[in-house]
Amino acid sequence: MGLRPRYFSRTEWLGFWITTIVSFAVYVFTLAPNVTLEDSGEFLTAGYHWGVPHPPGYPAWAISVNLFERLIPFGNVAWRGNLMSAFYGALASGLLTLLTCKFAERLWRIERLKNFSLPGVSREAIILVAGLVAGLVNAFIDTVWSQATITEVYTLNGFFFNLLLLLVLRWFDSPGRWRWPCLLALVFGLGITNHQTLLVAAPAFIFAMFYADRVLYRDCAFLAALACAIFAWQSALGFMWLFAAGFLLHYLWLMAREPHAWNARNLFSATFSMLLAALAMVVFAQAEDRPLWIFLAAILFAAWIGILAFDLLTRHGALKAVAPFLLSFLMFTAGSSIYLYMPLSSVTNPPMNWGYTRTVEGFRHHITRGQYERIQTSRPLKVLVGQYNQFFNDLEENFSMPLCLLGVLPLVWIRDFPRREKAYLGFTVLCFVFMGFVLVFLLNAKFDLQSSFIIRVFYSLSHGVYALWIGLGAVFLLHWAQGARRSLPSFAVALGLILAAAFAFWTGRSWMVEAVWLAGAAFFVGVLVRFVQHAGWSRAALALISAIPVVPLSMNWDGSEMRGHDFGWLYGHDMLKDCDRDAVVYGGTDPGRFVPTYMIFVESFQPKRWRKDPNFDRRDLYIITQNALADQTYMNYIRGHYDTHREKMDRWYHRLLGRDQLYPKEPLRLPDDNEFNLIFSEVVQAAQNNPQSGVTFQRDAMGKVVRASVQGVEGVFAINGAIAKWIFEMNKAKHTFYVEESYPIPWMYPYLEPFGLFMKLNKEPIKAIPPEVVRRDMALWSRLDAELMANPKFLRDDVARKSFSKLRSSIGGVYLFRGMNREAEKSLRQALDFYPASAEARSRLTECLVNQGRLAEARANCEAWLALDPFNPAPQDVLGKVVAMQTLLNKEREFAGLYPACKNDPQFILQYAVVLRDRGKVADADRVMDEFLERPSTGATLWLNMIQQFYIPANRMDRVEALLRRLVKREPKNPLAWYTLAVLNASTLRGEEACANLARAFTLDTNFVNTARSDARLNPIRGMTKFQQLVP
């Protein structure tokens, strides 16, 4: 680490090793034995084969895990990857202990603590306990522990962050040494190649620079202003302009305070910063603007060289004076250059080649997280307050409320700290603010269970800072207990209950848990006071403080331990083991695409002695992510693996990395770029008359489509589904296809039947699912339901429960499509056994019950869903629809009774038809309308009004056209009927037919010629010669 051993005392190193060893031992004991669900399979495949995982690529992690897997000579590949997470998690907590011990020894410089001591206890022992409390509390919180037992990137992120905190403290102690800012820049550069959330904390580190080296800060402030401006420009985050302006103004203010500020040295650093900004814009600007930025970069480079030459000739020493800034930048560049691993890896065509980063566009798209939605910062104030409330709830759930209160103590006395220690504590506060409050603002998370679960790990770095404060708070607690009144314990429980009630009122949570926690904490404090103030019990008091990590250990055990959790392996093994040879697997969800990828490319290739099933070998399978087919970079990725025109794996690096043995010999027929564009065009064409397609159109003044764009899930999956069907049709003769469903793709349903844990795509649509397939499916899932629900480990594993629930819910959807309500209901109830809060299973079960007319049960199902996931809008929406259905059912019965007496009333008929349509009885609604319209007394005007009010709002244009044709046949001399039919023809771009119908209307009534001149609905055919002849 570049730190001199004498800087840390033996006590501090002892704390480091105790924390590292204890936390590592706990992590190894609770380590997952094999591949897990979520992103584990993807990361393991990328690491094992030197590949590129999802954006932004995590190259530092990918390199590290590959080396780790090679250095550990035993255990399966997944276990080794899990072990690396445990290793970095333990090191991160050990570094936090080292940092806390080093900072805790300075607490005695505070006036009120300088004489603090415990009888029979050395100061070093108190410092050691403070460090152990901080490190082990951090080790056992859920956001750290849960990631240290599986293959993930977050423990390495924690390691880099805690190392940065330690380096800042070291720099504060030696502000004149160049090595510390250079080392800090190197580690920061390395850190962002593992996880880019470190960038959010950058302002805190710039503040640290302001304290340690004002000149270096001034140079970096100007560079930071330019960087923030570029980021604001590219990301459309308006608040980043405030940071840019703030840094720029502070830079100018510092320059104004310095005599002769605009000297060669400062001009040299400023020109260098502007040159870097121009080069960044060359990369990120639009293609048409790049020549301008290249020209500007050339001018700045010439100016920079000119200043350098002037300095060398005049010997002003500007280059030497600016050396810390240049060296720090070079070290940051060296660290962040690890990103070059991604294009180098991509060139070798690895099994995990996300983003196809061998191309400049793919690399830029990947590193800037272009795959994901842009950050949305606008939201109602109420939502923002709720998000911060959620953040504090998560903090309390990780630490417990008493430890949260303990962490506040150092901040209460921050004014008493000496200047250097006050600055460092202020730096940690900024780290907490940016990695907590600012990150909450940027993530803009929703409040439902799934979003809350996904987002929680992003707060692990802010939790680490809070663990540091808890360790320091332990010292303040001991000092306070020593001076507390002996009567304090008698009031402790009452005080705890009062604080619990206040906390419960603020958070809106049940008061009982908080009351128990605070009452227990108050009792703990009372006992501590007695121990501290008793001459012979000081060591017992210290032992009591050192037991604090037991609190998060006991709280988070169930949610973090993964010992014996082999559900990821079971998921992938049982899914693939019985598939036909050379089959194609369409993966959908993260587990459904990543675990099979691991089983195909890693489990099948590792030595048999490390496989759980030595006979498992499915390297013959093809794995394709149906969710990503609309992405051209993904299409390039799978073309490299499977396409008929894929590159030959005959180069030396292919053989060295084993690429020549990875992919099936028989290629697949995949769409090339022209075919991809043709499929896209067909989807766009089909979407023009469907407002729910997710495809939006921009038209010119004549109504012609000039641009189509795909938006939302519906639009993307329209493209995904079309490409998936193309691949299926082109390859089904030679290959069997299987599907793990993420988002329903409608064309697949007539082809699907259950197959083990997922589904099989038959080569042609099937009339019905064979009874034997249904019996086999029911038997399999009944056995799994019984076995898994009897396993306590499964019941504690939320991710496993969600994953198996999703599989069963998808099969239930196939039964539901077939109208097999009994089988669908059983499947969906099994899915809810696995995970009661499953939104998909609850929604489909509601649909199933509604189809059977069991509206009361459907309503009860929605209410149970809402109780489990109260902040998810989906159950509220579905419940509202069920309540509306109950209302509609009552209305239908009422209208059915009145129909014989009111069947000649147009308003009654319209209302009755709307009720039937909204009940899903479209054919009955059409029958009621037909009976009314076919009456001899129904005139053309009423006929057209009924069409206008009932069918056009429902966008049933086929029905509108059929009724209009019946009308003109019934009343051939009605010009309005012919004109209306012509307008419909124009909207569907049938110009010849529209003109013919217009001619009939004009023949019957010439007044319609004037109407046609200004009718915008006729714009699609207005450019036709025939139309212009009809309407001069």
Q: Where are the alpha helices (DSSP H) in 578-695?
A: 590-598, 632-642, 652-657, 673-687
pLDDT of the residue at 863: 93
987 band by pLDDT with thresholds 50, 70 and 90: confident
pLDDT of the residue at 314: 73
Q: Which pTM does this prediction carry?
A: 0.85
Q: Per DSSP, which regions of 825-871 are E strands? A: none
6 band by pLDDT with thresholds 50, 70 and 90: confident
- Provide the CA 528 distance to its chain's centre, in angstroms: 44
712 band by pLDDT with thresholds 50, 70 and 90: low
For residue range 347-365, list pLDDT tens digits in order: 999 999 998 999 988 888 8
Q: Choose between 304 and 662: higher pLDDT.
A: 662
Q: For residues 744 and 806, what is the distance between their CA atoms, to the nearest angstrom?
A: 12
End-to-end CA distance of the chain, in Å? 85
10-14, 230-234, 1020-1024 — which one is most confidently predicted on average? Answer: 10-14
pLDDT of the residue at 884: 81
- DSSP per residue, 729-769: HHHTTT--EEE--SS--GGGGGGEEEETTEEEE-SS--SS-
For residue range 993-1006, list pLDDT tens digits in order: 989 988 998 888 88
The lowest-confidence range among 73-82, 506-515, 753-762, 794-803 is 506-515
Report whether pLDDT(280) > 70. yes
CB 41, CB 592: distance < 8 Å: no
pLDDT of the residue at 697: 47
Provide mean pLDDT across the span 434-449.
91
Report whether pLDDT(703) > 60. no
408-422, 703-717, 933-947 — which one is most confidently predicted on average? Answer: 408-422
For residue range 228-263, list pLDDT tens digits in order: 888 888 777 778 888 889 999 988 898 888 777 777
Report whether pLDDT(487) > 50. no
Report whether pLDDT(423) > 80. yes
**For all residues of the chain together, what is the average pLDDT?**
88
pLDDT of the residue at 988: 81
Which H, E and C letters describe 376-400, residue by residue? CCCCCHHHHHHHHHHHHHHHHHHHC
Report whether pLDDT(919) > 90. no
478 band by pLDDT with thresholds 50, 70 and 90: confident
Containing H/E element for 707? Answer: strand 705-710
Report whether pLDDT(702) > 50. no
pLDDT of the residue at 490: 46
Provide mean pLDDT across the span 766-792.
96
Provide mean pLDDT across the span 192-216.
92
Report whether pLDDT(889) > 90. no
Percent of the chain with pLDDT over 70: 91
- Please return the burial class of 631, using the count of CB atoms within 10 Å of its CB with bins 0-12, 13-18 and 19+: buried
Provide mean pLDDT across the span 497-513.
54
Measured from the Cβ of residue 89, the count of other Cβ atoms closer than 10 Å reads 30
CB 160, CB 194: distance < 8 Å: yes
Q: Which residues pair with 707 in a beta bridge?
A: 698
Report whether pLDDT(5) > 90. no
- Provide the CA 567 distance to its chain's centre, in angstroms: 22
The lowest-confidence range among 239-253, 299-313, 406-420, 966-980 is 299-313
pLDDT of the residue at 844: 94
151-160, 313-322, 947-956 — which one is most confidently predicted on average? Answer: 151-160
pLDDT of the residue at 502: 59
Provide mean pLDDT across the span 531-558.
84
Residue type, 1011: T
CB 756, CB 583: distance < 8 Å: no
711 band by pLDDT with thresholds 50, 70 and 90: low
Strands 758-761 and 622-625: unpaired
Provide mean pLDDT across the span 556-571.
94
